[in-house]
């Protein structure tokens, strides 16, 4: 066997034969074949953490549902990405996200440009069956240009990852456990007083909801995420 040849695995996704490199995830392999799996915390150009669970898929031989974004391809794997069971759970995940904090779409800066909102629509979500929690959460507008509204945060950690992996500042992190979790700047200091923040605005661009936004706009403009795969590609090229 040629040691330079890539280790290729062959698997089936939704009945389609797919070959993928051994270091690829089920999500990557599916998307390369044009098969769509819904995602929320995933963003091309950032590492994957499997935080949102929307990309759950069925894998033959196990009763557990697997998050496609952090599941490596395996030889002979049989994956199902669309089923009534998956649709039920994906809807449930979206409903729980809506119920957990105060997502009042009608008065949100991201109304019309929100990943959570359009995923809800794409999954036929017309109402939330769980009681809303209505937590009392803060808005930090101490930064000169940006603000964070914790009412709209879904804890996807895209901001944490882009700040660490792409900007290299690691201003953002997550504090607390479970329902008390929250994204923070530095050691839970006001964003405007952060020593590490470079005010690059990458976190604002990658935020899927209205949690992070640029000040001074009644309605946020469409967020620009194209820079991420481009940056990742250019940096890889330099190595």
Partner 1 sequence: MSKVRLATVWLDGCSGCHMSFLDMDERLLDLAGRIELVYSPLVDYKEYPENVDVVLVEGSISSEEDLHKIKKIRERSKILVSLGDCAVTGNVPAMRNAFKTGDVLRRVYVENVSVPSPTPNQVVPALLPRVCPVHEVVPVDVFVPGCPPSADTIFFTLTELVEGRRPDLTGRTRFGA
Nearest-angstrom CA–CA distance, 130 and 190: 33
Nearest-angstrom CA–CA distance, 181 and 175: 6
Q: Is 111 in the site for partner 1 (CB under 8 A)?
A: yes
Kindly determine how many residues on this chain lie close enough to bind partner 1 according to the rule CB under 8 A: 25
CB of 104 to partner 1, least distance (A): 6
Residues 220, 226, 232, CA angle at the centre, nearest 5°? 135
Residues of this chain, 130-169, that bind partner 1 according to CB under 8 A: 131-132, 134-137
* Closest residue by Cα to residue 202 from 231, 174, 235: 231
Residues of this chain, 63-102, that bind partner 1 according to CB under 8 A: 98, 102
Phi-psi region of 174 (alpha: psi -120 to 50; beta: other; left: phi over 0): beta
Q: Given the rule CB under 8 A, which of 31-39, 85-93, 123-131, 179-187 is the region that contacts partner 1?
A: 123-131
Of the residues 16, 36, 78, 118, which one makes contact with partner 1 according to CB under 8 A: 118
Of the residues 81, 117, 194, 220, which one makes contact with partner 1 according to CB under 8 A: 117
- Rounded to the nearest 10 degrees, how much is the dihedral formed by the CA atoms of 115, 222, 171, 140? -90
Which residues form the interface with partner 1 (CB under 8 A)? 98, 102-108, 111-112, 117-118, 120-121, 124, 126-129, 131-132, 134-137
């Amino acid at each position: 066997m040629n040691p330079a040849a890539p280790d290729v695995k062959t698997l089936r996704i939704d009945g389609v034969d797919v070959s993928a490199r051994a270091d690829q995830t089920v999500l990557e392999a599916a998307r390369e074949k044009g098969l769509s799996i819904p995602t929320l915390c995933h963003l091309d150009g950032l590492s994957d953490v499997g935080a949102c669970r929307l990309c759950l898929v069925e894998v033959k031989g196990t009763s557990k549902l697997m998050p496609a974004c952090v599941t490596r391809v395996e030889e002979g794997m049989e994956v199902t990405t669309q089923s009534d069971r998956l649709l039920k759970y994906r809807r449930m995940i979206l409903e729980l996200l809506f119920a957990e904090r105060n997502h009042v779409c009608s008065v949100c800066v991201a109304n019309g440009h929100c990943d959570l909102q359009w995923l809800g629509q794409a999954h036929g979500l017309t109402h939330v069956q769980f009681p809303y929690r209505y937590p009392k959460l803060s808005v930090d507008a101490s930064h000169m240009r940006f603000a964070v509204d914790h009412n709209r945060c879904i804890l996807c950690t895209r901001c944490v990852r882009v700040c660490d992996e792409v900007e290299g500042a690691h201003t953002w992190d997550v504090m607390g456990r479970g329902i008390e979790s929250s994204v923070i700047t530095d050691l839970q200091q006001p964003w405007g007083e952060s020593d590490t923040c470079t005010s690059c605005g990458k976190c604002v661009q990658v935020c899927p909801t209205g949690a992070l936004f640029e000040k001074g706009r009644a309605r946020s403009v469409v967020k620009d995420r194209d820079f991420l795969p481009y940056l990742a590609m250019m940096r890889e090229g330099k190595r």
